[in-house]
Structure 1
C-alpha cells in the first residue's frame, strides 16, 4: 500500500473520530441535558451540607469543546458557620466538564473545573472553627451517579481572602489566570500549578508584612489523601524579579506538621526588604543593591493553637553596593552576615537576631558594627559601632524625617549592652552598660519643624552607662551661642522610648542669648512669625548654672546674668538670678509653671537696685498706657517686689491674674511736664508744677483685680509738699486724692472750696483735691468727702489687708514648688 493511500486512510479515520466526538457532544447536549443536570444536582446535594444558590444552569458543547460543560451561573455557596448566610464562594460561573462519549455511555465523571470571576472567603474564628467545612462524609455503600476524576482546574479572575482570628492573620490574593494539572494514582495526586498572582496584603498581628506584590508561581506538588501528606517538589515563586525556590512537606492527618525550606535565587536588597512588615521596610523601599545578596529560610514544626513551628532565616551581603536611585550617595564594600531564629515563630520572646561583621564605606568613610538582639518582647541588646561619618553623606543616603540638611563629621566608637526595659526604672538603669565616645566636628543641622539651624556644634560626648557626659560642647542656635559642660542623664532611654524623661545637669555659658528669636522660633506657626510661644517639655529635667554675658528680650537687654535654673514636671524654678540692666542691678527668684494646658503661671520675687525709672518705663513700653510715660520721669529706683501672674502660651498676660506687692524708694526723682500736675497749679497758687524735683520718695504699692492701689505718700519737691493716694485701674480709670498746702486763697473760690480746706496739726491750711475720670478724660475737683470720711485712712487699711493676704498666699505657694535637691533627677518608676 502506498504512503499516499495510508495518509488518506488515516485522515478519514481522524475525520470519522472527530465526527463521532462532535456528534456525541451535540447529541449529549440535546438528549442527555436534563439527565446530566438531574444526576449532578442529586449528587451535589448528597455531598454538600450548606445551602447553594444558583441563578441558572445550562449545558453546552461549545464553551469547552470537545468536552461537555455543565455551567452554573451566579453561584453563591454559604459558609459552614451555624446561623450564617455569608458567602464562602460567590462566582459568576463554574464550569464542570465531562467526556461526551463517556456521558453517552452513562458515565458522569467530572474531568475539569473552571472557576471564573469569583471571590472565595476562607475563615477560622477564635475558637478554631473553619467556615469551609461544607462537604459531607461520603457514603461508600451507595452508588454515585456523578464521580470526580479531575485532570485540570482553571481559575480566571479569582480573589481569595483568608482570615484567621485565632492567629490574627489576614491574607488577600488575586489571580488573573492560574491552571493546575492533576494526575491521580489511587489516593495519591500529582499536581503541577502555573499562574500569576497579585498579593493585595498579608497582615500578621496587625502588622502589614506584604502589600501589592506581583507573584508568579510554578509548583510541583504530590498529595496523599489517605495520609493527608503534601510534598512540595522543585517549586519556584517569583517576587519582584527574584526567584525563590520552595520545597518541603506539610502533614495534617493527626497534627499539622510543616517542614518548609525557601532559598533565594538572584535576590537583591529590595526584594528582601519587601518581605518585611510594611512599617519596618517602607522607608527603605527605594534602596537598591549591586553584588552578592543571599537569603534562605527554614520553617519546621507543629502548627496548632498552642504551638508554632521554628523559623530560621539566614541572609547577608558580600562586597555589595547599596544606593538610593534619587541621590549619588552610596555605601560600597558592604558586608553583612545575618541570622534570625525563633524556636516558635509566633512567640517573639523566643527569637534572636544576630548581625555580624557589618562593614562598609559611606563616601570614603569606613565603619564597622555588630548587633545581637534576644527576645523581641523584652529585648536584650548588645551592639557596637565604630567609624567616622560625614553627616552630609549620611543624610544624602538616608533622608531623616525631621532634618532638612546637615554637615560636619561624627567620629564615634560606642558599645551598648543590656535589657532595654531596665532603662525605664531608676533602680535597674545602672545595669545597662554603655561606653565609648563621640567627637563632634563642626556639625550643622537644619530641622524641618524648627526654623533656627544648629551651627558649628563641637565637643566631646562620653557615654557612661545611661548617662552622657558633655565636655566643652559648644555651638549656636540662630543668634544665640552656648558652651556646655555637664551631663545628659537617662539619655539612652530618652532616645529609645516615648515619654521617657531626659535630664541635663550642666554649666551653661553664653556670650549672647536672643530670647526673642528663640520664643518666636518655638511657636512653629508659619502663618504668624511674630507670635511668641512658651513651652516646657514634660520630658525635660534640667539643672543649669548659668553665666550669660548678655540677653535680649524685646527692649529688655540685661548683661552679666548669673544664677541657677531648675526644670522638672514642666515647672522652672530659680533660687537666685542676678543681672545688670537699666543702669542698675536686679536679683530675682521664682517659679514658672507651664504644666497647665496653654497657661504659663509665674510666681516671683525680685529686688531692683539703682535702676533708672525712665528706663523701666521705656523697656516695658510704658506698660501699654500713655498717661505716665518715660519722658515724664527721672530718678533711681530701689524696690522689693513680690508678684504672681498668668500668661497664655503666647506670653500675653491675663491681667486679672496679676497680683503684686511693691515696696519702692525713688531717689533724685523728677516729674516733668505731667499734665495732671499742671492742672493742679491753679488750685495750689503755684506758678508751675511742670518740673517737680524730689530727693526721696517711698511707698508700698499693691496691684490686684486689675487695679493699682497707691497708699498715701508724701512728695516733698522743690516747689511744694504734696500727699497723694488713690487707685488706677487697667482700664485707665483713675481716682487720685491730693492734699497740698494752700499758701494763698487768691486762686480759689472760697464758697466752692468750702469743706475741702482744713488745717493740719502744724496749723497749715491744706487743700483737698481729687483727680477722677479716665487717663484721656479726667477732672480735677475739690475733695470734700476725704475731709469728712477720712477716705485716705480707709484705703490704707484696705491695702494692708490685701498685702497681708497676698504675702501669706505666697508663702504657701512657695512650699508647693520647692524641689528636693537630692531627688531632682529621680525618674518616676
Structure 2
C-alpha cells in the first residue's frame, strides 16, 4: 500500500515539474522576442560604441537555475572619439547574461553574473590620449527599464588581452586561461576578489623587454572605493614561473603607487625566467646564491604620461656551474629606470664580480637609449667563453670554448641593433685581448676553428693583431697586421683599411669549403666591396683540389669587388712560377681572372703527373720528357653559382720554348706509320724503312723550338712551326678544342721517311730538294683519323712560287742592278755549301792502261755507279701517282 502511495506522489511531482518546465519553456518561447528587444534597448543605454551581434538566444536549462540571455559573435571595432577603425577592440565568441527566472514573471531582469568565452580584448591609447575602450556611457533614466545590473560575478575564459599606450610606449600582452571576479559591483565601497591563471607573453617598456613568455598565477583582493575614486590592493599573491612576489599598490583619481618585490630568490630560477633585450639565459643551470628584487611604479594617473618605473636588484655570493664551466663568487648590484625620475632610461650594473678558471673578473656596465643602445663600461679579468656561450648563446655556434684575458674601457652605440647590429658608433674604445685555446664550431658544421693564441689591441677605430694563430682542420695560418676605421666600416660610412701579413706552413683550401648541405642556392657577393689596403702572403704549402703549390710569396691589394696581386711567385709541379694576377667579381659569384705568368723552366713529366695528364689518355706523364720556358697571358670567367668553368670564353696567349723534348710510346704515332703501310706508301718505301721510322717515332727526340699558342672560343690554335727531331723534320699546325676535337696538318720530306741520310761516301746534305708528304690528322684525340692533305700541299706550292718570284727579283737586283732603289727587294746573299772532294789512290808503280771510249763505258768508278742508282731511283719515284714533286 505504501509503495502505491509513494508512486502516486512521484507521479504528481513529476507531472507538476514537467508541467512547470513546459510552461516556462512556453513562456520563454512566447516572450523571447520581447526579452531580446528589452536587452538590446538596455544595452544601447550603457554602451558608447556600436556593437555587432551575430545571434541572440534565451534559455534556462543550460544555466539552470539561472535564466540565460546569450549573445554570439559579439564584435566592437576600435573607435577613437568619432573615428572608427577596422581594428578589433572587443570580440567574444559568446557572452551570457544571467538573471533569476522568478524575475521573469515580474517583468524584471536583474543581471547578477556575466560569462565571457573565447574573447579578445585590445585596449589602446593614442599619443593624443584618445582611447578605444570607453565602451560605457552614463546611463539614461532606467526607471521604467526591465533590465538592471546587480553584478556579483564576472568570469572570463580563454581571453587574449593586449594593452598598448603609444604615448608612454608601454606594451603588455597576455592570455587569460580563466579570470574570475567576485564582488558587489553595485556597491559604492566593496572588496573585489580576483583569481586567475595567465600567460605573460610580453611586458615591454619602450625598447626594453622585462618579461617574455612566462606563466603566472595571481590571487588578489582589492578594496574598491567608488566614492573617493580609490582602489587599493589589500593582499596579492603573485607568482611568475613559480617565483613568488609581493604586490602592494594604490590608485587614486590623480596618482598611482605600486610596489612589487621579492627577496631570497634562487639565482638559477631567476636566470631561467627573466631576460633583457632577448638575451635569454638557458635552462637547467645549477645555480646557488640569493637574488633580491624591488620594483616601484609611481606617478600621476594620466593616460598620456608614464609613471616612474624604478627597479633595484642584486645577487649575493652566487654561483653557476655545469659540466665544462663554473662561475663562483658572483656578486652583482644593478638597477633599472625608465627615466621619469632620473631623466634617462637605462640599466646600470654598478658592480659585477665573479671567478672563473681560477681567475677573477670585475667590471661595470650601463645601457641607455634602448632604441639605439649606448653601452659604457669597464672590464678586467678572464672570461670563460664556454660559460658565455652557455649563458647568452648560442650565437649560431654549436660549440665555443677557450678564454679571453680582457682589459679595457668602452663607450659605443649600436645604431640599428635589430636590422644592422654591425652599425656602430665608437666614442671611446681602448682594450687589449689575449686569446688562448679558443675552439668554435658553427651550427651544422663539423669543422672546428681553433685559435691557439694571439693578441688583439684596440684603440677606438684602430685594431692591431699580433701572432694570431688560427687553424681549421689540417690548415693553419698566422695573422699579423693592423686594421683601421673599424666602426665606420661596420656602419658603411668608410672603407676598412688593412695592412697585414698572413703566413702559413700548410693551407688546404678545401678546408674552407662549407660542409653544410645547402637546401637552396642564393647568389651573394664574395669579394669585399669596402676594404682598402694590402695583405702580404707567405705560404709554404697550399693544397687546392689535390694540386700542390709551395713557397708562395706575394702581395694582395684590395679593391672594389677586386683582388689584385701585383706580384706573386711560387712553385708548382717542381717549376718556379712568377707573375701577376687580378680577380674581379663583375656580378655576384661571377669571377673574371686575369693573369700574366712566366716560368724559366717547366718540366713536362711532373707537370703532367700533377695535373692528371690534363684529363686525356694519349700523352701521359710516362710518355713525355723535356722542359719548356713559358710566358702565359690568361683571361677567363668562372661562374661559382652555376659551378661552371666557362672555357669557351677563355682568352689565352702562351709563348712556349721547348728544349730537350722527348715523346715515348705515343700510340697515335703508330697510326701514322700504319697509314703509310695501308695507303700505298709501302710500294715506295721498304717495310724495313717504315719499321725503322716507326721505331724513331716511338722514341721521338727533338731539339728546341718555340711558338705562340692562342686560345679563343674554346679552341687552341697552333700556328705553323717546324719541329726537328731524330725521326724527321716536320712542319706542324692545327687546332685542338677543349672537348678534344683535333684538326692538325703535318708535312715532311719523303726522303726522311726512307732514312737516306748517309752513304759510304759520307753524310747526305739536305739541299731542300725532293718532294714532301702532306698529312692531316682530325677527329678526336682518342680516336684520330688520317688522310693526305692536298689543300696544304697547294698552299705550300703557292708559297714556293711567291718565294721563287722574290728570288728572281733579288737575282735581277744583285746581278744586273734592276730595281736598285726598291728597298722591299733584298739582294741575294750567297752561302757557301760544303763541296765534295774525291781522292783516288792508284797505288805505287801502276801501269797505265789504254784509255778508250769503250773502256770508259765498261769501267765505272763507285761514284758513277751510285749516281746512276740515284737517277733510276728518282725516275721510279716520278712514275708514282701518290706523291708529287715540288
1:179 aligned residue: 181
**The structure with more radius of gyration:** 2
Give the secondary structure class of the aligned counterpart of 1:137.
Answer: coil
2:293 aligned residue: 295
Offset at residue 164 of structure 1 (A): 4.1
Offset at residue 86 of structure 1 (A): 6.9
2:726 is equivalent to residue 718 of structure 1: yes
Offset at residue 358 of structure 1 (A): 0.4
In structure 1, the gaps of 5 or more residues are 1-24, 528-532, 748-759, 794-829
Residue pairs, 1:355-434, within 5 angstroms: 355-362=349-356, 364-391=358-385, 395=389, 400-405=394-399, 407-421=401-415, 432-434=427-429
CA deviation profile, 1:522-568 (whole Å, cap 9, x unmatched) = 353499xxxxx995566877732122222233453332221112345
Contact 2:618 2:668 in 1 (8 A): no
Scaled by the length of structure 2, the TM-score of the pair is 0.71
Give the secondary structure class of the aligned counterpart of 2:726.
Answer: coil
Residue pairs, 1:327-726, within 5 angstroms: 327=323, 329-343=325-339, 350-362=344-356, 364-391=358-385, 395=389, 400-405=394-399, 407-421=401-415, 432-455=427-450, 457-489=452-484, 505-515=499-509, 517-519=510-512, 521-522=513-514, 524-525=516-517, 536=527, 543-594=534-585, 596-649=587-640, 652-681=644-673, 682=676, 687=693, 688-726=696-734
2:320 aligned residue: 322
2:154 is equivalent to residue 157 of structure 1: no
Offset at residue 769 of structure 1 (A): 2.0
Contact 1:79 1:134 in 2 (8 A): no
- In 2 relative to 1, CA 302–644 (structure 1 residues): closer, same or farther, beyond 3 Å? farther
- In 2 relative to 1, CA 296–712 (structure 1 residues): closer, same or farther, beyond 3 Å? same
Offset at residue 644 of structure 1 (A): 1.6
- In 2 relative to 1, CA 456–70 (structure 1 residues): closer, same or farther, beyond 3 Å? closer
2:740 is equivalent to residue 738 of structure 1: no
In structure 2, the gaps of 5 or more residues are 1-19, 756-765, 800-886
Contact 2:208 2:370 in 1 (8 A): no
Supply the distance in 2 between the matched residues of 1:219 and 1:770 (Cα, whole angstroms). Answer: 104
Give the secondary structure class of the aligned counterpart of 1:139.
Answer: coil
CA deviation profile, 1:569-596 (whole Å, cap 9, x unmatched) = 5533211111123333100311223563
1:218 aligned residue: 219
- In 2 relative to 1, CA 536–53 (structure 1 residues): closer, same or farther, beyond 3 Å? closer
CA deviation profile, 1:753-793 (whole Å, cap 9, x unmatched) = xxxxxxx9944533322112222222222211123346999
CA deviation profile, 1:170-224 (whole Å, cap 9, x unmatched) = 6342243523223766xx4333323122126237589986555332223333445
1:767 aligned residue: 773
CA deviation profile, 1:784-820 (whole Å, cap 9, x unmatched) = 1123346999xxxxxxxxxxxxxxxxxxxxxxxxxxx
Q: How many residue pairs get matched?
A: 732
Offset at residue 668 of structure 1 (A): 1.4
Contact 2:537 2:553 in 1 (8 A): yes
1:280 aligned residue: 278
Offset at residue 607 of structure 1 (A): 0.5
- In 2 relative to 1, CA 96–555 (structure 1 residues): closer, same or farther, beyond 3 Å? closer
Offset at residue 392 of structure 1 (A): 5.0
Supply the distance in 1 between the matched residues of 2:539 and 2:324 (Cα, whole angstroms). Answer: 44
1:530 aligned residue: none
Q: CA RMSD in A?
A: 4.6
CA deviation profile, 1:704-747 (whole Å, cap 9, x unmatched) = 11110000111122332211111011222211111212217979
Scaled by the length of structure 1, the TM-score of the pair is 0.76
1:750 aligned residue: none
2:69 aligned to which of 44, 68, 72: 72
Offset at residue 459 of structure 1 (A): 2.6
Supply the distance in 2 between the matched residues of 1:46 and 1:466 (Cα, whole angstroms). Answer: 68
